[in-house]
Amino acid sequence: MKTLHVNLGERSYDILIADRLLDRAGEEIKAVCPQARRLFVVTDSNVFPLYLTRLANSLTAAGFEMTALTVPAGESSKCVSELSGLWEKMLASGLTRTDAVVALGGGVVGDLAGFAAATALRGVDFVQIPTTLLAQVDSSVGGKVAIDLRAGKNLAGAFWQPKLVLMDPDTLNTLPDATFADGMAEVIKYGCIRDKEFFDFLRAHPTRAEIMANIESILYQCCDIKRSVVEEDERDTGSRMVLNFGHTIGHAYELSGHYEQWTHGQAVAAGMCAAAKLGVTLGLTPPELPGQIEAILVPLGLPTAIPCDGDTYAAAIGRDKKGAGADITLVLLDRMGHAVLRKLPKATLLQSIGALPM
């Protein structure tokens, strides 16, 4: 088993990574939530038939009473009506302030259940059991929890750190290839922003089989990078922004496809290529670097470019919450494995990506 400790004072917690950890979840949760009697498990309609019985057996064997709630799979469950359904059911099931909420699923379940845990009874303990690659390397770590509003994604939320994150890499074997590839976009991002050696390792191991053969150490390295970023800037007021490499331009791609044509991972993949090319245009990024990123994305079936018109770029960039006022702060690479934050006028960004005439 690999263990990481996220050091955030009284909000510190461990990330445990091991195959078959799902079958030991009860004893691990007991160790961090010793007062809890009842656990409220939130999962989705795809994950429930695959993994809920194993988790339930482990929780019951550890002496917990368990209530499970299944939401429909997909982003649309990150909404006010599912959230209020969770609140009502949690309270009806007898949840008290010493009990805990457990998220079993991908980032949708983690964000929704985490926001319910942050707000029910003014906050109860929360445990993440992420089952997608994206959730294991990104959304389950760092404490951001949220639902979507009509005004945009993740616009109502909180910082609510989990008490424990349990990653069972075995659960990744049931992911469709496209969902696995989505998570790989974030894995590659970590190499780009913080670790050239890790990027080179990923380049040398491009297939899903090779990645799964090394999955424990890949998860460890990604979570270790996210841990260090979050420890430095828990509330996302500055340096945590490096995690958004590829995301600002990626938001424009997600918008251009009405959040349906392109998944988040696909948009981030093409967004990283665009950000790398932008860095070259601005004289910051070595010219060979965009090609290196493209070469690692292609075998995974991830796009290296997504068509987007100027109005959509402007709408996404104007609305980007990182881009208050006339300037925008972008995450760029001055070399592979090293991200820097650069403030530039939004008009310069739009001109450089061809969305505005020079």
**Which spans of this chain sit near ligand GLY (rule: CB under 6 A)?**
138, 142, 144, 236, 240, 243
> Of the listed pieces 63-71, 105-113, 199-207, 276-284, which binds ligand NAD according to CB under 6 A?
105-113
Establish if 105 lies at the interface with ligand NAD (CB under 6 A): yes
- Which positions ≥6 away from 285 have C-beta within 8 Å? 276, 277, 278, 279, 332, 333, 334, 335
Q: How far apart are CA 89 and CA 107, in angstroms?
A: 21
> Of the listed pieces 68-76, 200-208, 320-328, 338-346, which binds ligand NAD according to CB under 6 A?
68-76
Residue 236: name its binding partner from ligand NAD, ligand GLY, none (Cβ under 5 to 8 Å by kind): ligand GLY
Establish if 76 lies at the interface with ligand NAD (CB under 6 A): no
Nearer CB in complex with ligand NAD: 134/308: 134
Establish if 169 lies at the interface with ligand NAD (CB under 6 A): no
Residue 304: name its binding partner from ligand NAD, ligand GLY, none (Cβ under 5 to 8 Å by kind): none
Q: How many Å is the Cα radius of gyration of the chain?
A: 20
Nearer CB in complex with ligand NAD: 112/333: 112
Q: How far apart are CA 313 and CA 319, in angstroms?
A: 10
Q: How far is CA 90 from CA 146, 235, 308, 328, in A?
A: 18, 28, 43, 41
Size of the chain, expressed as the number of residues it contains: 358
Nearer CB in complex with ligand GLY: 52/146: 146
**Contact string 123-142 vs ligand NAD (x = CB under 6 A):** --------xx-xx--xx--x
Dump the DSSP string for 235-299.
Answer: T-SSGGGGGGTTHHHHHHHHHHTTTTSS-HHHHHHHHHHHHHHHHHHTT-S-TTHHHHHHHHHGG
Site for ligand NAD in 236-275 (CB under 6 A): 264
Question: For residues 108 and 96, is the Cβ–Cβ distance under 8 A?
Answer: no
What is the smallest separation between the CB atom of 290 and ligand NAD, expressed in angstroms?
Answer: 24
Establish if 285 lies at the interface with ligand NAD (CB under 6 A): no
Nearer CB in complex with ligand NAD: 170/334: 170
What single-letter amino acid sits at 122?
Answer: R
Q: Tell me how crowded residue 9 is: count the other CB atoms within 10 A of its CB.
A: 7
Task: Tell me which residue of 225, 214, 149, 196 sits closest to 296, measured CA to CA.
Answer: 196
Nearer CB in complex with ligand NAD: 179/348: 179
Establish if 352 lies at the interface with ligand NAD (CB under 6 A): no
Residue 78: name its binding partner from ligand NAD, ligand GLY, none (Cβ under 5 to 8 Å by kind): ligand NAD
Pick the binder of ligand NAD from 75, 233, 236, 327 (CB under 6 A).
Answer: 75
What is the smallest separation between the CB atom of 214 and ligand NAD, expressed in angstroms?
Answer: 18
Q: How far apart are CA 332 and CA 341, in angstroms?
A: 6
Q: In which order are the strands placed within the sheet that holds 100-105?
A: 2-6, 13-17, 164-167, 125-130, 100-105, 38-44, 65-71
Is the Cα torsion angle 57, 5, 17, 162 positive or negative in sign? Answer: positive
Residue 271: name its binding partner from ligand NAD, ligand GLY, none (Cβ under 5 to 8 Å by kind): none
Dump the DSSP string for 166-187.
Answer: EE-GGGGGGS-HHHHHHHHHHH
Summarize as ranges the residues that interact with ligand NAD (CB under 6 A): 44, 46-47, 50, 73-75, 78, 105-109, 111, 131-132, 134-135, 138-139, 142, 144, 153-154, 171, 174-175, 179, 182, 264
